[in-house]
Amino acid sequence: MTRRFAKYVPLFSLLLLLAGCSPALTPIDPNSGVWDKYFVHPLSVSMDWFADLLWGEYGLAILAVTIIIRLIILPLTLKQYKSSKRMQEIQPELKKIKEKYKDDAKKQQEETMKLFQKEGVNPLAGCLPLVVQMPILIALYNAIMRNQHIGEHSFLWMQLGTKDPYYILPLLAALTTFLQQKMMSSQMNPQMQSLMFIFPVLIFVMAMNFASALPLYWVYSNIFTIVQTYFIYGPQNKGGLTK
């Protein structure tokens, strides 16, 4: 459980970091440094471009940017799923190694690494999509908060630059997070399934304190993941990743 939980630590850290961030009101300057030039500014310009293309709707522009971001990291996500599947398959062998070398931690580690190499399993592969998303999500937060146009627009019932006064969006963010994890529950051990309740609550609390545009991104991203997970792990795709 400890090893599996460890890969979620960066997400907790990211959420806490964002929670402590005050709205960044400084104008985006692409010439001020690497962060603005290569992360924040491109995302901000992309949302402006898509908004012009999509009838001035920044809510749809965020959807377009979300889809692009998720498609970019899709190869890493597929690798994560494959690695997770392979890790499940070699669990009996890992258990044998632990029992055989329970009194020799060094030998146990050596044999475990040999097994990983033999089976082509990378235990860190599951962390890659999260690591890649962290700077993107922080940059997106900055792009949203520092893009004057977004704050001036509304989408459906919400003002994108302010918190959702009806808490509908935080509820949707929490619900889609729960559904996303529920679909992945077959890949979790019983202890890890407890996180199915922790993360939605954490997401709800975070979403309550952010401008609506950012939780909207979470909702879009969660829906993308739900659809993606269905096609990867759905009944018609059983074993598809292990072929």
Q: List the chain pLDDT tens, one digit each, 243 residues.
A: 434 444 444 454 455 444 444 445 577 877 778 888 888 889 889 999 999 999 989 899 989 988 998 888 888 777 777 777 777 778 888 888 888 877 778 888 888 888 888 877 776 666 666 677 778 778 877 887 788 788 778 888 888 878 888 899 999 999 998 888 887 765 555 555 566 678 888 889 888 888 888 889 889 988 998 888 888 766 544 444 444
Kindly state whether residue 242 falls inside one of the protein's structural domains: no
pTM: 0.72
- Cα first-last separation, the chain: 28
Q: Got the DSSP string for 107-145? A: HHHHHHHHHHHHHT--TTGGGHHHHHHHHHHHHHHHHHH
Q: How many domains does the chain have?
A: 1
Residues 6+ apart with CB under 8 A from 21: 141
CB 119 within 8 A of CB 104: no
Residue 213 phi/psi, 5-degree rounding, is -60, -35
Q: Is there a domain that residue 125 lies in?
A: yes
Range of the domain at 176: 2-237
In a domain, 243, yes or no: no
In-domain check, residue 53: yes
